């Protein structure tokens, strides 16, 4: 079976294309929205004739919502992206919706893309199956205020000791250290003697090294000047294409969860920026929010889950015991907390 890449499908097929394929009569409102009678099979209110809205430029490929209680009740939320829409129309899973969209609109599968390019699937679609130009320009034009990016670094640090005892003390295996490229930096400069953690952008370009003190020195984390952590999700480039992801606060949380074989990304803090929210909505259909088991972590988790509810198909919060952080958990404890994810997929 081909690997379904939600990201590719959402980029190639817009909500508008799907609405047109179904022939749903909606009227245009303003420059960017369609409104009218809700077409979903979950909708059983006879009185609401204007409850369905599709906002064509929201998120990747558009977002929709139905304000009617009948739809909100059945689905537990108001709307979602193009995949959620097809899943609701067809009464199928998001995964099956993705497979349908793939065949209706001839979206190349991730497998086909990687066979052609010989590397990880990227946003380019093969000749003859190109997405419409307006879709491409919508993707690139991120609107005002989003012009800031983290520039890719032109160097990589050498002399990084990936088998330093500090890593073992944090519960990280050699394999994990190597996979993430983390280790204690033995070279000269401001990162000397710190555990350096490479940070990549969503397409896998190295954009920063953060240095974690290993001996109690302040600051605990050194971020390079000019680096905007609010623009990245740590580890996104390794896990995009997965359906579910575990959202954590810190680097080591993310590495420990990955070590237990769950896809994970980290916010690099306990707040979620708008850009991070958009990245999560763009790449994943199911998010488990697993922040620290203290009051601040629980409050942040609730707030983040609330925000994600409106743009992601399924959101769960994993509650940790008091004063426990994900990076302190052993593999089997993480499995006890997270194994049900595999069952519900």
Nearer to Zn ion, 71 or 182 (CB): 71
In angstroms, give the least distance from the CB of 61 to Zn ion. 20
Q: Rounded to 5 degrees, what are φ and ψ at 308?
A: -70, -30
Nearer to Zn ion, 36 or 121 (CB): 36
Instruction: Output DSSP code: residue 216.
Output: S
Task: For the chain, report the end-to-end CA distance as a whole number of angstroms.
Answer: 16
Nearer to Zn ion, 71 or 98 (CB): 71
In angstroms, give the least distance from the CB of 314 to Zn ion. 19
- Which residue lies nearest Zn ion, judged by its C-beta? 38
**Would you state the structure tokens that stand for residue 2, as one six-digit string?**
């081909």
Nearer to Zn ion, 3 or 22 (CB): 22
In angstroms, give the least distance from the CB of 58 to Zn ion. 18
> CA angle at residue 17 from 13 to 23, to 5 degrees?
145
Q: Rounded to 5 degrees, what are φ and ψ at 73?
A: -65, -50
Nearer to Zn ion, 77 or 138 (CB): 77
- Could you tell me if 312 and 59 are in contact, meaning their C-beta atoms sit under 8 angstroms apart? no
Nearer to Zn ion, 40 or 113 (CB): 40
Which is it for the CA torsion 22, 27, 29, 35, positive or negative?
Answer: negative
- Could you tell me if 121 and 114 are in contact, meaning their C-beta atoms sit under 8 angstroms apart? yes
The reply to whether omega before 28 is within 30° of 0 (cis) is no
In angstroms, give the least distance from the CB of 29 to Zn ion. 17
Nearest Cα to 314, choosing from 281, 285, 334, 343? Answer: 285
**Would you state the structure tokens that stand for residue 225, as one six-digit string?**
């000047």
In angstroms, give the least distance from the CB of 312 to Zn ion. 19
Positions in the binding site for Zn ion (CB under 5 A): 38, 40, 43, 66, 68, 71
Between CA 88 and CA 85 the distance in angstroms is 5
In angstroms, give the least distance from the CB of 47 to Zn ion. 12
**CB-based burial label for 50 (10 Å; 0-12, 13-18, 19+):** middle
288 strand-pairing partners: 246, 316
In angstroms, give the least distance from the CB of 317 to Zn ion. 26
* Helix (H), strand (E) at residue 80: strand 79-80
Nearer to Zn ion, 89 or 324 (CB): 89
Nearest Cα to 280, choosing from 312, 313, 316, 324? Answer: 312
In angstroms, give the least distance from the CB of 69 to Zn ion. 9
Q: How many residues does the chain have?
A: 345
323 dihedral zone (left: phi>0; alpha: psi -120 to 50; beta): left
Nearer to Zn ion, 35 or 164 (CB): 35
């Amino acid at each position: 079976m081909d690997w379904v890449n939600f990201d590719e499908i959402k980029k190639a097929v817009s909500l508008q294309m799907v609405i047109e394929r179904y022939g749903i009569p909606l009227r245009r409102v303003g420059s960017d929205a369609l409104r009218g009678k809700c077409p979903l099979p979950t909708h059983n209110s006879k009185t609401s004739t204007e409850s369905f809205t599709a906002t064509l430029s929201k998120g990747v490929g558009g977002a929709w919502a139905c304000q009617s209680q009948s739809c909100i009740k059945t689905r537990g939320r108001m709307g979602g992206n193009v995949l959620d829409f097809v899943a609701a129309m067809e009464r199928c899973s998001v995964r099956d919706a993705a497979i349908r969209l793939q065949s209706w609109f001839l979206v190349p599968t991730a497998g086909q893309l990687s066979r052609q390019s010989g590397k990880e699937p990227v946003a380019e679609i093969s000749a003859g199956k190109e997405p419409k130009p307006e879709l491409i320009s919508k993707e690139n034009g991120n609107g005002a205020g989003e012009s800031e990016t983290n520039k890719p670094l032109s160097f990589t640090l050498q002399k990084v000791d990936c088998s330093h005892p500090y890593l073992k003390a944090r519960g990280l295996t050699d394999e994990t250290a190597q996979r993430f490229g983390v280790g204690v930096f033995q070279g000269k400069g401001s990162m000397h003697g710190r555990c350096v953690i490479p940070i990549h952008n969503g397409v896998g370009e190295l954009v920063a090294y953060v240095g974690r003190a290993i001996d109690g020195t302040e600051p605990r984390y050194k971020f390079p000047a000019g680096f905007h952590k609010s623009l990245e999700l740590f580890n996104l480039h390794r896990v995009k294409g997965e359906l579910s992801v575990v959202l954590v606060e810190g680097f080591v949380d993310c590495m420990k969860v990955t070590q237990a074989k769950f896809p994970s990304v980290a916010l690099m803090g306990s707040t979620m920026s708008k850009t991070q929210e958009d990245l999560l909505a763009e790449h994943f259909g199911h998010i488990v929010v697993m922040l620290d088991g203290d009051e601040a972590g629980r409050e942040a988790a609730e707030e983040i889950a609330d925000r994600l509810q409106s743009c992601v198909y399924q959101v769960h919060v994993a509650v940790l015991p008091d004063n426990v952080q994900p990076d302190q958990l052993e593999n089997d404890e993480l499995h006890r907390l997270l194994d049900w994810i595999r069952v519900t997929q």
